[in-house]
Amino acid sequence: MTFFNSLFRLFLVSRFLESSLLSAEVKEGEILPPTIQKLMKGYNKYLRPFFDNGPVSVGMSLDIASIDTISEINMDYTATIFLRQRWTDERLLFEGNKSLSLDGRLVELLWVPDTFIVDSKKSFLHDITVENRLIRIFPNGTVLYALRITTTVACNMDLTKYPMDKQTCTLQLESCKIYLIFLQYLPRPEGGYNVNDVMFYWARGNDSVSGLDTLRLAQYTVEDHYTSVSEAVYETGNYPKLIFHFQLKRSILYFILETYVPSSLLVVLSWVSFWISQSSVPARICIGVTTVLTMTTLMMGARTSLPNANCFIKAIDVYLGICFSFIFGALIEYAVAHFCTLHHPHCNNTLMYGHRMHDCEDEMNGIVTTIASDSSRKKRRKDPPDSSLDTPDDPEISAAAQNQSQTTQNLTPATPNPTPPVKIHISILRKIQRVMNCCRVQNPHYIDNYSRVSFPLSFIMVNLLYWTYYLYF
């Protein structure tokens, strides 16, 4: 019983389609010229050409009219294109040597490929003053179908080297894989032509896309473009796909004038405090805080045109971070110098520092002289006196002195020569003192003198490494 119900419903559907086609032919016959009436007689737009004789080949070509916007925030681009499709329909053969250009509204009478733009977020067909599409039929049955479309297409961008980056975007044309099923008993649903039904190809290879050579963009230049043919593999089958690749290179001049030069000048401005006296606390603090706040504002402004979800560090973030570090370092430098000045109130100038170092050297020399004198005294005390020198004339006194010397030698234990260990200790003390002097600030005014040289040299070296890496690697 279920089988007969299915056959009955299928018969009703076929009769409905047949009656609708006949009524359309009668209605169209009232307004169409005789040549078109002859072509449309018995024509079924729901069946593709060569329905039983293999796939139909559809040639594609593009004309890029404009690329309006390229958004890094949304990672997409908006372009206006002329899409031309060309195929052969054996049912549209007619005699003559001239083509027939039809009104775009007559496209509803013909079979057309179910082409769509992959990754399209929003698209529309221009309709001012009428729908911008063209139908042209040639005597050999070739059909030319042209459309003017504005579409917003997703483009995955790698912003790691922004603004010195290159982006490769694509425009993909594919056969629609969505079946428009309005009754489950239709033997062949409309749409969804796979590679067994339709084959896409570029009409003139890489020359199938035109308009990019004369295209002018605000922040980009088109470096290269090429075409490719592929197949989209889905669960429902394999579908033909055409891909147009184009590479965009960002113009960095705008960012140099807008971000890089101001941030570098802020860093140089922070170095002015190194030439201001340490006693001018308000002036140096004002320069440091102002440059830090200005740099923070510049960093926030540079990120407004970028995605909020920063899943990668961009080149401009690295440079702004470097500049902020140098500016903040200049502020910290004054804090350290001022702190050292408070702990060295008598070191107000280099002359006093030199006198102090001279006194320290004299004190060290005195300590060394004292240690050497004690060592010599111990050595003389250890060595026995020479009997041949300074011998008194009185033999009794001489004998008493010899007895006293022998008694002293017997009471004093034998000790090694202390001179080498003392010298070693002195050298070790001097080395330790040199190391401590390196870690200790003797004169706070020298901090500014060192910073005047170290900060600019460090900034130049970091810039060389930055630009070399992001431009050549």
Q: What is the pLDDT of residues 84-99, one digit of tens each?
A: 999 999 999 988 888 8
Query: Looking at residue 107, what is its pLDDT?
Result: 87
Q: Each residue of 383-416: b (16+ CB within 10 Å) or e? A: eeeeeeeeeeeeeeeeeebeeeeeeeeeeeeeee
Q: How many CA atoms lie within 13 A of 386 on its CB side?
A: 3
Ranges of each domain in the chain: 28-251, 254-344+463-472
Residue type at 130 in one-letter notation? V
Distances (CA, A) of 343 to 167, 186, 276, 288: 57, 95, 20, 22
- pTM here is 0.70
- In this structure, what DSSP letter does residue 259 have? I
Query: Looking at residue 103, what is its pLDDT?
Result: 83
Strands 76-88 and 142-154: antiparallel
When pLDDT is averaged across residues 205-224 and rounded to a whole number, the result is 91
When pLDDT is averaged across residues 45-65 and rounded to a whole number, the result is 91
Q: Which two tokens stand for residue 21?
A: 């086609």
214 pLDDT tier (thresholds 50, 70, 90)? confident
Query: Looking at residue 424, what is its pLDDT?
Result: 79
d(CA 323, CA 268): 10
CATH 2.70.170.10 holds for 28-251: yes
356 pLDDT tier (thresholds 50, 70, 90)? low
254-344+463-472 folds as: Methane Monooxygenase Hydroxylase; Chain G, domain 1 (1.20.58)
More confident residue, 441 or 398: 441
- How confident is the model over 217-260, as pLDDT tens digits? 988 999 999 999 999 998 888 999 999 999 999 999 999 999 99
| Summary mean pLDDT of the chain | 79
3-state DSSP assignment of residue 48: coil
